[in-house]
Amino acid sequence: MDNAEKKILSLISLSAKAGGLVSGELSSENAVKDGSANLVIVAANASDNTKKLFSNKTTFYKVPYFEFSTKEVLGRTIGKENRSSIAVINKNLADNIINKLNDYKVN
């Protein structure tokens, strides 16, 4: 795991501790629908159906969407079991994570 990945996971962890995110498919999907999600991250090893669901929903509701890390790492990062998806609801943290994810994708 490189430094960029660690920084992103650290921000995700901070979001969880601050109560700035929801996790799990149902909670994440509801956050997108009700407009509280500012960012959705789906694990790279999530099912194709999950990726398609969130890709479609986030496109429709105009929410930034990224595939990043694994279910195991995302879950551990937020202190829970495996998580296929998380939705960051804190705007400032979401913007910060999006910037890091964009840099991460470029490298």
Scan for tokens 């109560």, then name that residue. Answer: 19
The pTM assigned to this predicted structure is 0.96
Q: Inform me whether the pLDDT recorded for 107 exceeds 70.
A: no
Q: Which two tokens stand for residue 86?
A: 């998380």
Higher pLDDT, 105 or 81: 81
Q: Give yes or no for a contact between 50 and 42, defined as CB atoms under 8 angstroms apart.
A: yes
pLDDT at 105: 77
* C-alpha pair distances (Å), 33 with each of 1, 6, 27, 42, 51: 33, 29, 10, 16, 16
CA distance between the termini of the chain: 14
Structural domains of the chain, with CATH: 3-106 (3.30.1330.30)
Q: Inform me whether the pLDDT recorded for 4 exceeds 80.
A: yes
Higher pLDDT, 42 or 105: 42
Mean of per-residue pLDDT scores for the chain? 96
Q: Inform me whether the pLDDT recorded for 99 exceeds 90.
A: yes
Number of residues written out for the chain: 107
Q: Which two tokens stand for residue 57?
A: 């929903």
Spell out the alpha helix ranges (H) of 1-107.
3-17, 25-33, 48-60, 71-77, 91-106
